[in-house]
Amino acid sequence: MSVRSRRLAVAAVTAAAMIAVPIAAVASSSSTSSGKPPPSAAASKSAAASKSAAAASKSAARQSGALRRVTEAAMVAAIAAQLGVSHGAAQRALNQLDALSGTGGVDPASPAFATIARDLGVSAARLAAALPAAKQAAGRSVAG
């Protein structure tokens, strides 16, 4: 290739670049002004929204866990006070009742319920009577 041909090729490439760069800039600014963000901005907004949703979900889970702990603590305290048992015994009984309710509900006439009451040193009827009052006490502790 002759020197003249090289110069013409370089000039053509330079001219093409000088035309293409401003056109790309105009095209980029027109897509932004039309209300459509550039793809990279849309991706960053989507990522920010995902992070925000994840943070909100974690916060809700923490609050739900805190509420559950407050409710459980109030129920344990109420059961312990009503039945005259230790907090540890009341906690074990509520854990057992919770496991029992997961298998289809708590039936105060069931042998499993009677066993939990017997382990507490009270009758099944007395434990059954204490549960609604404990739930009511837990509701007051959360509301107040």
Q: Which residue has the tokens 């959360």?
A: 142
Per-residue pLDDT of the chain (144 residues; tens, 9 = 90+): 666 666 666 665 565 555 655 555 555 555 455 555 555 555 556 666 666 666 666 665 555 666 677 778 888 999 999 999 999 999 999 999 888 877 667 888 999 999 999 999 999 999 999 988 888 877 776 565
Which phi and psi angles does 46 have, rounded to 5°? -65, -40
Rounded to whole angstroms, the Cα distance separating 13 from 32 reads 28
Predicted confidence at residue 70, as pLDDT, reads 74
State the DSSP code for 108.
T
Rounded to whole angstroms, the Cα distance separating 126 from 107 reads 14
Q: How far is CA 33 from the centre of its chain?
A: 37
Q: Where are the domains of the chain?
A: 4-36, 61-143
Predicted confidence at residue 86, as pLDDT, reads 94
